[in-house]
């Protein structure tokens, strides 16, 4: 496994690769969700490239950039075990030199949900993903369904800018009890870990209501809100039932819908989602 730390070297190495390249961009502190993407990339391509880069431009002021968990040694051991060919770990200064001044921004879909709660977040995401795709030039890039809006934003950017890469989606990987895997789960203490299950639970309740014939989005949201509010450690940031493609809020679910939410458990902000219909 080759570990590359500079943009220049990664581009040089890329020029010499033959066959198809599968790419998994990550912020490190890898969990089973990442590894599922990595295995898919490995199985479906001649060369598997994984990047580890905690991208400063997608964190807002007061967010957890500084405390974001990092464990490079463990990450590299995990990736080695999966048979990854290349790990790209650039420095922040190499990705964003002092004179850095170019931004890739997708409007519309980024104004809702996470984008509304975290202004500038998606501009950071589209910019770094655009840069990484330009450096690694993969045939396919793999993203998890857990970050449902991010996935749609990246698909939109790739389509709008006519990039050659194919974006592949992989289902959210969960703990045995249903909690969606996230590097941020490490922030939770035992009590919070139990409380965090409420996200999964209310998604299941919402789906069940829908399956039983409830298509009124407001009424499903009321049920979800009530259940989350019963959990004293949980505080709702948003709950959304939206058109699965455009992420516009639905009043009546007559179209595939994305139920998504952000909930603070103690001081940790978690997101989760499910597609219905």
Q: Segment near a second copy (CB under 8 A), from 47-55, 152-160, 249-257, 263-271? A: 152-160
Query: What's the min distance (Å) between Cβ of 127 and a second copy?
Result: 8
Give SS3 for 239. strand
Q: Is 109 in the site for a second copy (CB under 8 A)?
A: yes
- DSSP secondary-structure letter at 181? P
State whether residue 2 is helix, strand or coil. strand
Minimum distance, C-beta of residue 97 to a second copy, in the bound complex (Å): 9
Q: Does 26 bind a second copy (CB under 8 A)?
A: no
* 3-class SS of residue 46: coil
By C-beta, is 133 or 262 nearer to a second copy? 133
Q: Which of 146, 118, 110 is nearest to 57 (CA)?
A: 118
Q: Which of 52, 137, 258, 270 binds a second copy (CB under 8 A)?
A: 137
Q: Is 101 in the site for a second copy (CB under 8 A)?
A: yes
Q: Is 78 in the site for a second copy (CB under 8 A)?
A: no
Angle between helix 7-16 and 121-136 (nearest 10): 40
Look-up: residue for tokens 């870990």? 193
Interface with a second copy, residue 121, by CB under 8 A: no
Sheet containing 47-52, strands listed edge to edge, beginning at the edge strand earlier in sequence: 2-4, 86-88, 47-52, 21-26, 140-144, 166-170
Residue numbers at the binding site for a second copy (CB under 8 A): 7, 11, 99-109, 126, 130-131, 134-135, 137, 156-157, 160-164
């Amino acid at each position: 496994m080759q570990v590359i730390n500079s943009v220049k070297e990664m581009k040089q190495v890329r020029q010499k690769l033959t066959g198809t390249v599968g790419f998994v961009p990550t912020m490190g502190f890898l969990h089973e969700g990442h590894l599922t993407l990595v295995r898919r990339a490995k199985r479906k391509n001649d060369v598997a490239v994984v990047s580890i880069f905690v991208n400063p431009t997608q964190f807002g002021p007061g967010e957890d950039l500084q405390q974001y968990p990092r464990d490079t040694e463990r990450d590299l051991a995990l990736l080695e075990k999966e048979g990854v060919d290349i790990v790209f770990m650039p420095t922040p200064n190499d990705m964003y030199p002092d004179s850095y001044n170019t931004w890739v921004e997708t409007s519309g879909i980024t104004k809702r949900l996470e984008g509304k709660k975290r202004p500038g977040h998606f501009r950071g995401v589209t910019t770094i993903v655009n840069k990484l795709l330009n450096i690694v030039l993969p045939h396919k890039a793999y993203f998890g369904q857990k970050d449902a809006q991010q996935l749609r934003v990246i698909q939109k950017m790739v389509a709008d800018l006519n990039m050659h890469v194919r974006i592949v989606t992989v289902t959210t990987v969960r703990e045995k009890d249903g909690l969606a895997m996230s590097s941020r789960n490490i922030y939770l203490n035992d009590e919070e870990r139990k409380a965090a299950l409420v996200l999964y639970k209310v998604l299941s309740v919402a789906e069940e209501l829908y399956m039983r014939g409830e298509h009124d989005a407001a009424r499903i949201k009321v049920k979800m809100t009530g259940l989350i509010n019963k959990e004293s450690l949980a505080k709702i940031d948003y709950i959304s039932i939206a058109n699965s493609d455009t992420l516009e809020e639905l009043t009546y679910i007559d179209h595939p819908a994305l139920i998504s939410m952000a909930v603070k458990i103690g001081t940790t902000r978690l997101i989760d989602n499910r597609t219905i219909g």
